[in-house]
Structures are given as structure tokens and as C-alpha cells.
Amino acid sequence: MKVNVEIDCTPEEARAFFGLPDVQPMQTAVMDRLQQQMLSNIDKVSPEALMQSWFTFDPKIAERFQDMFVSMAGLGNSLSKDKK
């Protein structure tokens, strides 16, 4: 024997029927807090801020980045020959 039961109710009605707590206010508060934290930290992950933090770490980092990109492009051998 096969029995199908369809219940047409909203999630809030089902939650109340089963005696589960309403977590909507807590979810709203957590999402608001998360949004505030993300907006306050968004300036820290901007490309300008990242590059500034990388370049202030080591004064010669710009030259090292340039050397790295040159060697990745396959031009490293031609530049080293020109310097000699």
C-alpha cells in the first residue's frame, strides 16, 4: 500500500508546528554584523592597498616582481646576456 500526504504550509508554519524556534531574528543580526565587517574591511583588500602593503614589506620587491615576470615570459635569458 502506498500513501502520499501533501502538506501545504509555509516554513514558519511548519517550524511552529514542530515546536522549533524562530531563528530569523538571529540570522538577520548575524548577516547585518557580517555585512558591517565586510564593508569595514573592503578597503584593506583593494588592489591599491594590497600593492602598497606588498611593496612596503621589501624596498626591492618591485625589482624582484619585474625579474619574476621577465623570467616567466621567457625573456630572462636575453636580459642576462645583455647585462654581461
Return d(Cα 18, Cα 15) in angstroms, integer. 5
State the pLDDT at residue 39: 87
Residue ranges of domains in the chain: 10-45, 46-84
pLDDT tens by residue, 54-78: 766 666 777 877 888 888 887 655 5
Closest CA to 63 of 79, 82, 47, 84: 79
Range with the lowest mean pLDDT among 2-11, 23-32, 44-53, 54-63? 54-63
- What's CA 30's distance to the chain center, in Å? 18
Return d(Cα 17, Cα 11) in angstroms, integer. 10
Average pLDDT over residues 16-24: 91
pLDDT at 81 over 60: no
The pairs formed by 76-84 with CB atoms below 8 angstroms and a separation of 24 or more are none
The cell for 7 is 502538506
